[in-house]
Structure 1
Amino acid sequence: MAAQDFTLNGLFGVEGLHVLITGAGTGIGLYMAKGFAANGAIVHIVGRRQTKLDEAKELLETLKAPGAEIHTICADVSDRQVITRLASGLTRLDVLINCAGIVLPDPPCNHLTPLPELQAALLASPSSTWSDTFAVNVESPFFLSVSVMHLLAASPTHGRIINISSIGSTMSDPATHQPAYQASKAALNHLTRLLASKFRETGIRVNAISPGYFPSQMNDPTNPKSMLARAKELVPLKRGGEEEDAAGTAIWLASRAGSYVHGEVIPLAGGRNWA
């Protein structure tokens, strides 16, 4: 039996790990990339826009610890052929973070909308909204995870998959009007458990993080009507999520400190998931 190491680096160390993060050009994916880069990981950031990736890499280079590396991969992970090419270009992977996600606008309505208008608004949700949302938020994590499972299984520290869900996956707030997005994130929660079950003999741990209100393209902090701007009113901890909250939770799940967590969906919402 290996000697126990209860030091911070022994428990939470991610130095030298090869980490791939989709949707890492901005928002929560970038926050997590910052945490891994600052702690010595080899970080591969994936996104659809090379300009955003270049900006993110420039920032990460200023934060990275000695030994850390930053690589960019411009790819649309909603395309299975692109996923196949992405996976074939990797030679080692210890941690996969499926963070890429989209939310598309639907006609606004809530529980107080009169029935005829409510029905009309819900029926006006385009079929493309559902197919595109599920392609990115559910299919992409599934096919990318399966495409790299051989690399994760070969990881010397055992591979880890972290899916980024949302409190919208479990909250049924009638004031929101994002049915396709919320349904897709609920599907991602179950996909997390499904993959954990399928991969159990490989040593790969699969978990999800379910964030609340973090600054992102989906949650503009400058918009006074955004959930993030109303966090003090809505969240029991009286604030929105911060970059360190996202990075710290991902590092915990990726490190030895989280090695006994498997098939779980971790709320990261300041208590908003139950309040």
Structure 2
Amino acid sequence: MSKDFSLDGLFGVKGLDVLITGGGTGIGLYMAKGFAVNGATTHVVGRRRSVLEEAKATILKLSPSAQIYIHVADISSREEVSRLISSFDKLDVLINCAGIVIPDTPSTHLTPLPELQQALLSSPASTWASTFSVNVESVYFLSVSLLHLLAAAPAGGRIINISSIGSTMSDPNTHQPAYQASKAAVNHLTRLLASKFREHGVRVNAFSPGYFPSQMQDPNNPKSMLARAKDLVPLKRGGEEEDAAGTAIWLASRAGSYVDGQVIPLSGGREWA
């Protein structure tokens, strides 16, 4: 049997049904653009209808014929997730991108012990509960709830989880321990789900973005990691829209069909710098 080594054959996503949580802004929107412009039927999920409508308009400007659909849902609510799932009868790719970060009191390794202890203990229980509910539990519940549709996908289902380089980096200057711990949990959950789903033809992978323009990283804030990327990142820049979209398309396409249970850094080398 002859092999198709064309770009469309290897990286084509035309005709796929793709669902992206957190698809209205940031990395989620970048991936939505990539899939929709390249012919995938793209569903974006978010809490704010106005944001989703703006994202849809942005994508239609790029590609007026794009098949783009919006769904308003809070994916931290199992009831709303169940309602969302009921509107689907087929799915090829699930991308779990929705996430939150709630910073705590700043501290570093140079903070005197009493102040350090006080800063770390000030992290409220609600921060941990909310962060893990959105960043971890929703990934688990949505992935498992859609398993029957993904398993029925003609070329096998694909799940792509969005982690963070904060899941593996131990930078004492950060002050978001709940967020970093939740993303470390996403990494292991990715491997766990890959092992659970492998007999049903569903691949599960994740990638860990570094500094990308988003609600978490404001390029106009000179103190943000993104604004300092030229100095912090070995490749001397922050992530761009095409970097996120291209990685997701690779994992969703035939080009990435031999990748399973992996967490791929997408940070310009920052995770080891």
Q: TM-score range by the shorter chain?
A: over 0.9
Tell me which amino acid in the other structure corresponds to 1:44.
H
Give the aligned partner of residue 76 of structure 2: 78
| Residues 43-98 of structure 1: CA deviation (Å, up to 9, x unaligned) | 000000000000000011122375x3000000000001111111111011000000
Once the two structures are superposed, the pairs formed by residues 93-108 of structure 1 within 5 Å of their partners are 93-108=91-106
1:235 and 1:83 map into 2 onto residues whose CA distance is 37
Alpha-carbon distance between aligned partners in 1 of 2:2 and 2:88, rounded to the nearest angstrom:
32
In the alignment, which residue of structure 2 is the partner of 1:246? 244
Which residue number in structure 2 is paired with residue 21 of structure 1? Answer: 20
**1:161 matched to which residue of 2?**
159
Percent of residue pairs bearing the same amino acid type: 75
Matched to 2:13, the amino acid is V
Deviation for aligned residue 1:157 = 1.4
Aligned length: 273
What is the alpha-carbon distance in structure 2 between the residues aligned to residue 270 and residue 110 of structure 1? 24
Residue in structure 1 matching 2:168, options 167, 170, 174: 170
SS in 1 for 2:208: strand
* TM alignment of 1:1-275, pairs within 5 A: 2-64=1-63, 66=65, 68-275=66-273
Task: Name the SS for the 1:76 alignment partner.
Answer: coil
Q: CA deviation at 1:3?
A: 2.8
Runs of 4+ in 1 over 6 A off after TM superposition: none
C-alpha distance in structure 1 between counterparts of 2:54 and 2:244, whole Å = 20
Q: Which runs of 5+ in 1 are unaligned?
A: none
Output the amino acid matched with 2:257.
S
Q: Secondary structure at the match of 2:198?
A: coil
1:181-231 deviation line (CA, Å, top 9, x unaligned): 000000000000000000010110000010000000000111000000000
Q: Could you say what secondary structure the match of 1:103 adopts?
A: coil
Inter-CA distance 258–65: structure 2 relative to 1 (3 Å threshold): farther
Q: Is the CA contact 1:40–1:65 (under 8 Å) kept in the aligned structure 2? A: no
SS at match of 1:199: helix
